[in-house]
Every structure is written in C-alpha cells, then in structure tokens.
C-alpha cells in the first residue's frame, strides 16, 4: 500500500495537572499506621533499597543496645537519625498510597445514587435501583441528580459537573450524541441518557480499582529500576564493609559502626526508591484528569516509548457519521433510477452510510420503501467493502468502493473514475452503484475531521512520534483527509489485514506502535499494537481489547498519554539522578567522618567544618532524611515536560537534576551545619 508524506512545523509543548488534595482525618490515621506497618521486613522485601536501610538501622540500634556501657550520646543521635530517615522513607510510600485511597474515596462518593428514573417504551418513567440497570437502558436525569452510569445523551441539553473526575470546576455543556460518565452530576436542565456500560463497569469504577491496586502492580520499567537500585545498594554494602574491615586491619578504630552505617545510608538511592509509589499515583491521577480510562498502569509506561501512532480514519480522525449528501448519476441514468438502485442496495445496510443513503433515496423518490420485488441481501463487510442485493427477477445490485465496483464490470467506466476523482478532491467519499453490468452513478459521502488535530499531531511530531492514517478510502480522498488532519503519512485502501501488516512491519523495525481506532474491524489491529487506544464512541469490542479508552473520543488525546508516560519516566529518572549525585556530594561533605584518622592528612580536613567531623556526619544524615519529604511533591506532580525526543529529555534531566542534586546537597548540609553550631547542639 502506498504511504505518502505530509509534514508541518511543531510548536512548543507544555502543560501539567494539579493533584488531588489529601485532608480527611481517617486517611491521615491510615497513613500514620501504614508508615509503621511498612517497617515490617516482609513488606519491604519488594523494595530492597528500603530493606537494606532497615537492616543497617537495626544493626546501628542493636550495636548501641549491646554495647550501651560504652555507647556515646553521639552514637545514639546517629542511630536515631537512621530510624527517622527510614520512617520518612516508609512515610513517602504510605502518603502516596493514602493519596490514592483518598482519591478513590472521592470517586466512590460520586456513586451515591441508589435509584434513578428509567424511561419506558410508552414514554413514562419509573424509579428503579441503579444496580438493576442494563446496557442500552434509557434513564432520565434532572438537575441536581447523579448520572447513574456511562452513556450517550439521546435527548436534551444540560450542564454536567465533572469536577470529581477532571478537577475542572466549570460545568461542561452536554447535548445529543455527547458522552457522559457515571458519577458526574447534572447541574442544569434535563437529559435522557442511553447507558453504554453497566453501573459497576463505569469509568469511575475502573479508576477506583486502578488507584486502590496501584501500589501492588509494578510495571516493567519500575521492576528494572528497582533491580538497578538494588544492585547499586549491594555494591555500596560491599564497599562499606570493605572499608570497615580495612580500618580494623590497620588497627585504626575511628571508622566506627555508626559512621559506616551513615555512609551506607547516604550512598544508597533511598529518596528515589521510597518515591516510586508517589510517581505512580501521580501519573494515574494525571491520566484520569485527561479523561482517559486505563485498563492497567503498563499502558501509561508503554505510551512513553511509542514511535509510531497509526490511526483509523472514520470515527477516529473524523466524526464517523459519513452522510450521503448527493446522488451523481452517469450519463443515460436519471437521478431517480440511481436513487432507487441505491435504496435497494442499502435497504439492509445498517451502517451509518447505509442508513443515510436510504434516507436520501427516500427523500428523492418520495416513498419509504424500494419498488416491488424481493431478493437476497448482501451485507456490508470491511473486507469486501461492498453491499447489495440479488433480486428475485435476476438483477444484481451492488453499492461499494469505486475500485471494487469497477472490478465487477466487464468494461470499467472511465467516466466513473473521472467523477470519483472530482468527489474525492474535496474530501468526500464516493460510493459507486451498479445494476448487473452497468454502473448507474455515485453517492457522495461527507465526513468532518475532528477539530484541533493538526496542532496536536505537530506536537507528537516534535516528540519524535510519526502519525499514520490507515483508511479504506481511495488515495485521493485519503490525501485530502490526511492533509486536513495533519498526519505525517497515510495508507489508502487499507483493509483490516493491511493495518495489521503495517503494525507488524513497524514492530519488526524495532518501533513501538500505538493504534487508535473505534470499530469492530479495528479490533485485530488494536490487539496487535503495543498500545491500543479506543474511542469511547466506538464498538464494545474495540473498547474491551484496547489498553485505554479516550472518554472524549479524540485521537489527539494520545499526546496527553505520551506526555504523562514520559513525565512519569522522566520523574523517576530525575529522582534517581538526584539521589546518586547528592550521594556523591554527601560523601564529600562528610569526608572528615568517613576518613578521619584513617590516613594522616585527613584529620586536618575536619577543621574546615563549623561543627567538626561529627557534626558534618550528623548534618549529612539530617539532609538525607529531609530530602525525602521535600521530594514528595515533585514525585506527585511530575516534572514539567518540554517537546523533544527521549534522548534529549534524558540528557536535559541528567544535567538539570544532576546540578540541582549537587548544589542542594552542599548548600543544605552547610546550612544545617551552621544551624547546629549556632544552636550549640554540636
């Protein structure tokens, strides 16, 4: 299939969302209990870095207890600082999980409606339990009532308060064909809603499950990062134990156990390890605020790695309701003859195109049904791209793509190709109608491209992501839609198997592929892709098989997922860089305590510190402890993203957060030393 290029200049990319506040007393109590409960070694087994810190803290405290007859006050102060540091690390995890629970409770409180008004066939309403509702039930919601489930507005206009989901306080106007979510509140007027999901399978329910289970599910990147930090911690354990052994071998006992444990606690990447849960909870919240329903957290992580985004056209890039707007008969055929043939070919076609063709033909013929006769209908299929009927009088009527109808003819019509080209050039889709071996003419179908796509696709391009439109339309129509939507390339006359073939080719080239679609024919491609994004207005099969569902049915929303995914990965990387670089700075700042007395030149270095070698070590440990809660807001909010490929983002992080880690460590330790000296505590 041909692929054609279409590029434009990318704009700058910025944006962030605000996290949900944590304020309820019971959440605070749960958080404090969890901080202590997480000290259980069985719980810390999933986070080896915290486990190493706990073992080191236990060794320090136990050493003081066993050797209390000669344990100095300094040793107890250092050991207590170890314990506080460890509890702050578990507090960071507990805070993130409590935040997730608090947000889940906020969402759960939106599901307070026990009853709702069910619209019956006779137009009357009756109160029923929300739990008894089924898909395709129609409910009437009036101002002040909670919408009982996800669905589509079929009548009425009203403002809906979606603040519990999106955080936006301004109500959103909803009208016919708009999608609404269960748990939101109708602020004004009245709506009639046809439910698309069961009450316990709504967006709110899925997000509650995801947030409450978020701390238990680890993504592949998190697992790899945990393994990396565990390996670093193991190396530091060996290094510290070697230093202790060497100092004992030389007969110099200034490298005490508290000093050795202090070195270990400062070297291991404790801040990054303790904030993994916080970065995860923050990413989930940003995804829901973008009105994207996730099936699992791995989808967010995979979105960050996407190189190619393949998009279906109808219902994804366009509004999806292609409407028959005009009959264009060929010479020798009247408009009424073409309309009657189109009506026969479309009478059993239940697609939007078929229904609109029937409506247009009925208006032209001024009668509701086709002429006399009976036949065997030929249903529309994405593979055949054609529908029709075999009449009992022997006539065979077909309606479908121009290229398909031409192949059925003994002598293809040049006039048909000319007319089809004219229709395609204005972005419309031509369908040909033939009776037996004669082509009667064309049906013009018109579909509108969704607004705001060009700018968003330019931003994706700036982030190194190529967009490809795959459509069953002919090449001319596809090129017009591709230019209007702003995609990089397009594939014309694509069948479902062609989309799969394109995805496999991209994956074989080492690219991570995302697929955005809405129809049943997109299901195989959504399943084959590394990341599947379904439109909320799409088929149930597409929504079930995909990794995420955009509640606004806007494919450009994938940009939000890329930003959230890369922001998540960037934040974790930045915290790790900060931890490692600040560890180097902490090691240098407390060098008098680490090395004092081991070699002759080192004692002189102690005089450079206002509080001496012991004060330097204590200052370093205090800074190490305080850095963990200080970084919690960063982990939850995420780092502000800018446009650019992942390699540039990585280098930018290494530089910015490396410099910040070094500067913050030296400045913070110096200020703590001065404070200890001024207060006379050392």
The Cα–Cα gap between 173 and 191 comes to 11
User: Looking at residue 538, what is its pLDDT?
Assistant: 73
The pair of structure tokens assigned to 68 is 């209390």
Separation between Cα atoms, residue 130 and residue 119, nearest integer Å = 13
DSSP 1-21: --EEE------------PPPP
What was the pLDDT predicted at 245?
76
Low-confidence ranges of the chain (pLDDT < 50): 1-21, 69-71, 215, 253, 372, 597-611
Predicted local confidence at residue 69, as pLDDT: 46
473 a catalytic residue:
no
* Domains by residue range for the chain, with CATH: 23-103+211-286+563-678 (no CATH), 115-145+151-195 (2.70.150.10), 307-319+449-551 (3.40.50.1000), 323-446 (3.40.1110.10)
345-394 per-position pLDDT tens digit: 888 787 778 888 888 888 888 876 665 457 888 888 777 788 899 888 88
How much is the pLDDT for 329? Answer: 92
Q: DSSP characters for 399-424?
A: EEEHHHHHHHSSS--HHHHHHHHHHH
* CA separation for the pair 594, 76 (Å, rounded): 18
- Taking each helix axis from N to C terminus, what angle separates 646-678 and 558-589, rounded to the nearest 10 degrees? 40
Q: What is the largest CA-CA distance in the chain?
A: 113
433-460 confidence digits (pLDDT tens):
999 989 999 998 877 778 778 888 888 8
Structure tokens at 358: 């029937």
Instruction: Supply the pTM of this predicted model.
Output: 0.67
pLDDT of 399 reads 92
Please give the pLDDT value at position 605: 35
Q: What is the DSSP letter of 318?
A: B
Q: What pLDDT score was predicted for residue 604?
A: 36
Q: Looking at residue 286, what is its pLDDT?
A: 83
Give all strands (DSSP E) within 335-465, no chain letters.
375-381, 386-391, 396-401, 429-435, 438-446
Q: Which of 312, 521, 530, 547 is catalytic?
A: 312
SS3 599: strand
Using alpha carbons, select from 575, 574, 307 the residue that is nearest to residue 463.
307
């Amino acid at each position: 299939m041909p692929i054609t290029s279409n590029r434009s200049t990318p704009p700058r990319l910025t944006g962030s969302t605000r996290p949900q506040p944590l304020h309820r007393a019971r959440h605070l109590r749960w958080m404090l209990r969890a901080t202590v409960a997480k000290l259980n070694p069985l719980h810390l087994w999933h986070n080896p870095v915290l486990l190493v810190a706990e073992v080191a803290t236990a060794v320090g405290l136990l050493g003081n207890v066993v050797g209390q007859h000669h344990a100095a006050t300094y040793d107890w102060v250092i050991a207590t600082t170890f314990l506080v540091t460890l509890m702050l690390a578990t507090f960071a995890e507990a805070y993130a999980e409590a935040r997730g629970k608090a947000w889940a409770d906020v969402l759960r409180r939106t599901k307070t409606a026990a009853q709702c008004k069910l619209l019956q066939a006779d137009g009357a309403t009756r109160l029923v339990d929300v739990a008894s509702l089924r898909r395709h039930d129609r409910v009437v919601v009036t101002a002040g009532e909670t919408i009982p489930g996800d669905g589509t507005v079929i009548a009425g206009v009203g403002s809906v308060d979606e603040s519990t989901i999106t955080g936006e306080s301004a109500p959103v106007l909803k009208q016919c064909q708009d999608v609404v979510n269960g748990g939101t509140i109708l602020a004004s007027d009245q709506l009639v809603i046809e439910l698309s999901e069961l009450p316990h399978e709504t967006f709110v329910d899925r997000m509650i499950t995801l947030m409450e289970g978020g701390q238990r599910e680890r993504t592949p990147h998190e697992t790899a990062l945990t393994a990396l930090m565990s390996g670093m911690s193991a190396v530091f354990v060996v290094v510290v134990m070697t230093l202790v052994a060497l100092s004992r071998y030389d007969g110099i006992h200034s490298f005490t156990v508290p000093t050795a444990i202090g070195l270990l606690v400062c070297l291991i990447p404790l801040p990054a390890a303790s904030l993994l849960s916080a970065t995860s909870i923050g990413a989930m919240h940003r995804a829901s605020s973008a009105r994207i329903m996730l099936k699992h957290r791995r989808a967010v992580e995979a979105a960050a790695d996407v190189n190619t985004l393949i998009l279906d056209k109808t219902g994804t890039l366009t509004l999806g309701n292609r409407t028959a707007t005009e009959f264009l008969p060929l010479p020798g055929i009247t408009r009424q003859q073409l309309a009657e043939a189109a009506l026969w070919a479309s009478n059993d076609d239940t697609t939007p195109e078929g229904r609109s063709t029937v409506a247009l033909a009925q208006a032209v013929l001024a009668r509701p049904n086709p002429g006399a006769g009976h036949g065997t209908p030929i249903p529309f299929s994405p593979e055949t791209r054609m529908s029709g009927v075999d009449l009992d009088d022997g006539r065979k009527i077909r309606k479908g793509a121009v290229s398909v109808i031409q192949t059925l003819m003994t002598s293809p019509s040049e006039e048909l190709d000319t007319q089809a080209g004219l229709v395609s050039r204005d972005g419309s889709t031509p369908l040909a109608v033939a009776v037996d071996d004669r082509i009667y003419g064309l049906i013009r179908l018109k579909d509108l491209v969704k607004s705001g796509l060009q700018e968003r696709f330019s931003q994706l391009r700036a982030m190194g992501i190529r967009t490809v439109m795959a459509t069953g339309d002919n090449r001319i129509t596809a090129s017009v839609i591709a230019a209007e939507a702003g995609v990089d390339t397009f594939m014309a006359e694509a069948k479902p198997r062609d989309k799969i073939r394109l995805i496999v080719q991209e994956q074989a080239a080492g690219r991570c592929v995302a697929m955005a679609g809405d129809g049943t024919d997109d299901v195989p491609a959504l399943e084959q892709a590394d990341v599947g994004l379904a439109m909320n207005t799409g088929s149930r099969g597409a929504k079930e098989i995909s990794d995420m569902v955009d509640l606004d049915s806007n494919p450009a929303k994938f940009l939000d997922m890329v930003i959230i995914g890369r922001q998540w990965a960037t934040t974790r990387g930045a915290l790790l860089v900060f931890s490692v670089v600040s560890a180097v700075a902490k090691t240098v700042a407390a060098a008098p305590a680490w090395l004092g007395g081991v070699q002759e030149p080192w004692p002189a270095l102690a005089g450079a510190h206002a509080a001496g070698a012991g004060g330097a070590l204590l200052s370093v440990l205090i800074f190490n402890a305080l850095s963990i809660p200080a970084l919690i807001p960063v982990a939850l909010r995420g780092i502000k993203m800018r446009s650019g490929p992942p390699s540039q983002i990585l280098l930018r992080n290494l530089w910015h957060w490396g410099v910040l880690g070094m500067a913050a460590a030296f400045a913070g330790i110096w200020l703590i030393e001065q404070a200890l000296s001024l207060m006379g505590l050392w």
